Amino acid sequence: MPPVVVNRGLFGEMFGTDEMRAIFSDRALVQRYLDVEAGLARAQARLGVIPDQAATAISAVAQVERVDFERLAARTEIVGYPILPLVEQLSDWPPDGLGQYCHWGATTQDIMDTADVLQLRDALALVDGELAAIGAALATLADKYAETPMAGRTHLQHALPISFGYKCATWLSAIDRHQARLQQLKPRLLVVQFSGAAGTLASLGKDGLAIQQALAEELGLAAPAITWHAIRDGFAETTGLLALIAGTIGKIGYDIMLMMQTELGEVLEPFVAGRGASSTMPQKRNPISSEIMLAAAKIVREQHALMLDALVQDHERATGPWHVEWHALPTAFIVASGGLRGAREALEELEVRPEAMAHNLGLTRGLIVAEAVMMGLAPRLGRQHAHDIVYACCRRALDGEHSFIDALLAEPDVAAVFQRAEIEALTDPANYLGAAPEMTRALLARRAP
């Protein structure tokens, strides 16, 4: 194996799952090539283009176990593509010379592109399953902590109180949109490629389009509106979706890492003995899953950039950009699967610490709800006067001269019209969550079956 992290080895499943690697393995890919060749034979037999017995014989032997991979690899290096060397082997397997009907009227890219589509269909099914599991975990967290106050942060500083459930619900909203995007992508992606040497189906005459439609039906795909040999937006859209998904997963991982900081301690990744340990610092519990989530976002983004570059192809068949896909597509899916696996590991058993959230809310002794106090004072004191009083009290509290509450009550205009209990209520972060719980519940209600 080459020393890259997407291969299972030293890094295990950190940068990809076994299930996703299996879909993009050499054996799985070659079997897909054979599936397309067999499907083509059956489609042509249905239309009387080749004999029925040829289609039956080809389908019976189109099994990856028969492939001489050493010979295939050697010939592929010489030819530059694996299909001609594979067809050379496949043509020898059926009895009575029926192998001569293999690959009838097809071109190499027809077989490879269609096999890729079949791979991506399976790969997207895995992605969809992971998104569903992550969505379920986030929905559980959002529901349980819909009214659990914590500090909302902007520019890494305390801003206003939010609830932890609301934070989870914002993550969840993106996951839901990604699942919708995945379904919307399928009609544009799951399309057969069968168009012949220059995309015109000329070698098959009047039967070309009928064979294309029949092949699509054999493989459970749609027929294209027109040839897409050098028009690759479907594949680029796919890596774009993966980049979006990985970006959201990276954002979630980044937030978890920040909340796991020793000074905050608001959440912790699930405890597994030895996970996140340091070689020199026994106290460490590092955010390993979240780190992979963030790394995956960066790696998948780069694969999408490659796919965007590969969109620019020459004439009716590319002289190089097509080859970029052979690296970028599998890498994007495998690394994305590692990020998704990390998200499931982190979120399904996430250790949430409301007491730490409450402690951090109180670090500024009420200053996080200065806006709430200003709006509470305004009806009795006037908005501008209330603003000026609160601003001055915030400065004194920040200087350590008084607590925020004591600074407010030391103001004669405030003490004249407010009791201490009223000021304490105004400075309680739990009373200033705004519509966060309501928005969280509404999102969850929309997801309900």
- Can you give the pLDDT at residue 201? 94
Sign of CA dihedral 154, 155, 158, 164: positive
Contact 367, 397 (CB under 8 A): yes
Q: Which run of H or E residues covers position 423?
A: helix 420-426
C-alpha distance from residue 434 to each of 264, 266, 286, 369, 437 (Å): 23, 21, 34, 11, 8
HSE on the CB side for 283, CA within 13 Å? Answer: 1
The region that residue 7 occupies, defined by phi over 0 for left and psi between -120 and 50 for alpha, beta otherwise, is beta
Among residues 158, 163, 195, 278, the one annotated as catalytic is 278
User: Cβ(157)–Cβ(447) under 8 Å?
Assistant: no
| Amino acid letter for position 131 | L
CA end-to-end span of the chain, whole Å?
Answer: 45
Residue 282: its pLDDT value, please? 55
150, β-bridge pairs: 162
Please say if 278 is a catalytic residue. Answer: yes
Secondary structure class of 158 (helix, strand, coil): strand
Q: Is the pTM of this model over 0.85?
A: yes
Cβ atoms of 165 and 437 closer than 8 Å:
yes
Q: Mean pLDDT of residues grouped by 10 in the chain (449 residues)?
A: 64 84 95 98 96 97 97 95 96 95 95 98 98 98 97 93 97 98 98 95 94 98 96 97 98 97 94 56 74 95 96 90 93 96 95 96 86 91 93 88 86 89 88 94 91
pLDDT value for 286 = 84
| DSSP code for 402 | S
Catalytic: 195? no
Distance CA 309, CA 239 (A): 12
Q: What is the pLDDT of residue 399?
A: 84
Which one of 25, 91, 103, 155 is the catalytic residue? 155
Distance CA 404, CA 388 (A): 14
- Joined together, the tokens standing for residue 444 give 């969850």
Measured CA to CA, the distance from residue 313 to residue 400 in angstroms comes to: 65
Please tell me the predicted confidence (pLDDT) of residue 277: 45
Q: According to the model, what pLDDT value does residue 8 have? A: 67
Phi, psi of 436 (to 5 degrees): -55, -50
Query: Could you please report the per-residue DSSP string of 189-234?
Result: HSB-----TTSS-GGGGGGHHHHHHHHHHHHT-BPPSS--TT--HH
